[in-house]
Amino acid sequence: MLTAQQLQELTMEQFISLPNTIDLVFQYNQAFQSYVDRHPFIRLGKTVGDFVIAYTQQENLQTILNDLGENEINIIPTVLGLLGQQELAAAGILEVQNQPYLDLRGQGVLIGFIDTGIDYTNKAFIYEDGTSKIKYIWDQTIPGGAPEGYYFGTEYTDAQINTALQSQTPLDIVPTQDTVGHGTFLASLSASRENNEFIGAAPDSDLIVVKLQKARPYYLDLYLVPPDQQNAFASSDLMMGIQYILERAYILKRPVSICISMGTNAGGHDGLGNLETFITRICGLYAISVSVAPGNESAMKHHTQGVIEKDGDSQEIEIVSGDNGAPILVNLWSLASDKMSISVTSPTGELVGRVPFKPGTTVQSKLILEKALVIVQYIFPVAGTGSQLTIVKIIDPTPGIWKITVFGDIIINGTYHAWLPITGLVDPQIQFLRPDPNYTIVVPATALGTITSGAYNSVDNSLYASSSWGPTRLPLNSPVMVAPGVNVAGIYPTGYGTMTGTSVSASITAGACALMLQWGFLNENQIPMNSFLIRSYFIKGCIRDPDIEYPNDQWGYGKLNLINTFNQMRE
C-alpha cells in the first residue's frame, strides 16, 4: 500500500488507475472546494455541468461521508446496463428524407453515442470519398491518450481515423473496437450511409462516439452485479461521456443529438438524482437533443408497489429466489412524509426481526439455520428528492420465497415502490411474486425533457411486450411515444442482423431528432431548438389509434411519425 506522501506524488492519471481508487459525484460549490483544498486524499477530476467527479481511495469513503454529512446514495455512481441486444418508413422518416423541399438527411448535425464503441472500419460509417463520418472517438478502455481535461482513456480524431482507413491494418493505428456490437448497431440505425438498400435515419450526419469502460469492481460488488456481466457501466463515466460530446460539438460549432441506450433501477425514478438532474439541464440547451431508452422492464417482474393505509399497518413484498444462490438486492423508496421500517423472513421461516428506522442505520444479520446474510440499510433524506430509501441485500439466499414486511411507523401518504436491478444486472431467476409493470421506466429516462420512446412492432402494430411502462414517481407522463423496436434490421461488426428493444427505438428517435435539429437550428426555422421543443413537435405528429385514450403509460402520445410532424406544422 502506498503512503500518503507517495499518493500525493502521483499524477492524476496514475492516481485514477490505482485498483483501490473510486470515483464520487458531488454538486460543486465553494464549500466543497474548500474541503478538497484541506484534504489531499480527495482529488477533483472533470466538471460536468453543476457536478464534479472526484477521486479518492476506497478506505477514505467513510471519512468523507462523515465529514460532509453525506450518505452513499447521494455521491456514489450507480451501475447501468444495456437496454436491448428499418423501420424508417413506419416512423415517417423516409418520407422526410425524400421530400425535396425539406431536404433533411442530417447534413451538418452530429449524433453522439455513449455505448460499447463502434466499428469505424464498417462502410456504413464511411463517406463515398473514403473519409469517416466519425469526428471523434473517446475510448475509455484504452489508456495513454486521454482527451484534454480528462484523465483516462484515449481520444481519436477524424484525422487519425481517416489515416487508419487508408491503411491495410487500420487497427494498428486506431485500435478501438466494438467487441459487443451494441453501439455499432445503434449507430447504424441513426446514421448509416446507403448500403445495399439499408439507410440510417440521418445518413448525412456525423458521429461522436464514447466507448464506456466497465464499472470499477467496488461498484460491481456494491450493487451485487453478476460476476459474468461485462456490460455494466458507472453513471459517472456516462456523465463524462455526455460532457465530452457536448464539448466536442461546441468545438465543431454544430448541433448534436445524443442517444443513451442504457439504464438502471438504482435510483428514485423521480428525475431528481444526480444523473437525471445533469441530463435535465442539458435538455434545455439550444441545438441539443437527448434521446433515452425507457427500458425493457415491464414484463421482467422487477418492480412492485403498495400503499400502507395508516400508522401500524403492514404489507408483505414476496421475492422468488433461484436455486443458484445469486444475491438479492431490493431498493424500496417511500416519500419524505412517511416513516417505514422492515423485517425479513426466509423461505424456511427464519426471521430477521423488525429493524427500527433510523437514518444511516445498517444492520447485518447472519441466519442461524441457513447460510444467508441479510443486510438492511436506511438512508434518509436522499439528496434532491428527500425520500426514504431502504436497501435490502440478501447474500447466499436460500431458494424459495423471501418476504420483506413493510411497517408503517408514520403514514401520511403510505405509497412505496420497490425495484430489483434491471435485466442483465440481476439473476433472471430473481423476481417479485406480485409484480407491477407500471413505474418501470429506468433511470435516466426519468429525467425531465428527455425524448423517451418505447418500442413497438411496426409489422403488426403491437407494443413490444417488455417495453417499460410509465409513469415516473415525479409523476411524469412517460414514455413520450413509441418507435419501431421489434426485429429491426441493422449492422453489427460481423454483418447484418436484427435487434429488439427500446435501445432500437431510442436510436431511431435520435436520428429523427438530428433531422429536427437540421430543420430548426441549421435551417433557421426554429433556432432555439432543444429537447423540450423537439419533444413537443413529436407529440403533435404522433399517429394515434382511435380506440386508445392518450396519453397512456404504454404508448405515450402515440407512434413516432416524422412526416406527420411536418404536416401538422403546415396545417
Give the mean pLDDT of 336-361. Answer: 96
Lowest mean pLDDT among 121-130, 306-315, 378-387: 378-387
Residue 521 cell numbers, joined: 437550428
CA–CA gap between residue 446 and residue 315 (Å, rounded): 27
State the residue for C-alpha cell 426555422: 525
Cα-Cα-Cα-Cα dihedral of 557, 294, 501, 25, to 10°?
160
Decide if pLDDT at 191 tops 60.
Answer: yes
Decide if pLDDT at 487 tops 50.
Answer: yes
- Residue 83's pLDDT band, with cuts at 50, 70 and 90, is confident
Contacts of 495 (CB under 8 A, 6+ apart): none
* Per-residue pLDDT, 85: 47
Lowest mean pLDDT among 86-90, 181-185, 358-362: 86-90
- pLDDT per residue over 517-561, tens digit each? 999 999 999 999 999 999 999 999 999 999 999 999 999 999 999
- Residue 569's pLDDT band, with cuts at 50, 70 and 90, is confident
Say what percent of the chain tops pLDDT 90: 88
Decide if pLDDT at 65 tops 60.
Answer: yes
- Residue 87's pLDDT band, with cuts at 50, 70 and 90, is low
Residue 399 cell numbers, joined: 431458494
* Per-residue pLDDT, 91: 86
- ∠312-317-323 over CA atoms, to 5°? 145
Decide if pLDDT at 88 tops 80.
Answer: no
* Per-residue pLDDT, 103: 87
* Cα 292–chain centre separation: 7
- Residue 147's pLDDT band, with cuts at 50, 70 and 90, is very high
Decide if pLDDT at 374 tops 60.
Answer: yes
Query: Is pLDDT larger for residue 477 or for residue 419?
Result: 419
Rounded to the nearest integer, the mean pLDDT of the chain is 95
* Per-residue pLDDT, 534: 97
Strand-pair partners of 114: 210
CA–CA gap between residue 206 and residue 195 (Å, rounded): 16
Please state at what angle helix 531-541 crosses helix 562-570, rounded to 10 degrees: 90
Decide if pLDDT at 266 tops 60.
Answer: yes
- Residue 100's pLDDT band, with cuts at 50, 70 and 90, is confident
- Residue 86's pLDDT band, with cuts at 50, 70 and 90, is very low
* Cis peptide leading into residue 203 (ω within 30°): no
* N-to-C CA span, the chain: 70
Query: Is pLDDT larger for residue 198 or for residue 450?
Result: 450
- Residue 280's pLDDT band, with cuts at 50, 70 and 90, is very high
* Per-residue pLDDT, 84: 61
- Residue 196's pLDDT band, with cuts at 50, 70 and 90, is low
Radius of gyration of the chain (CA): 24
Residue 29 cell numbers, joined: 460549490
Say what percent of the chain tops pLDDT 70: 99
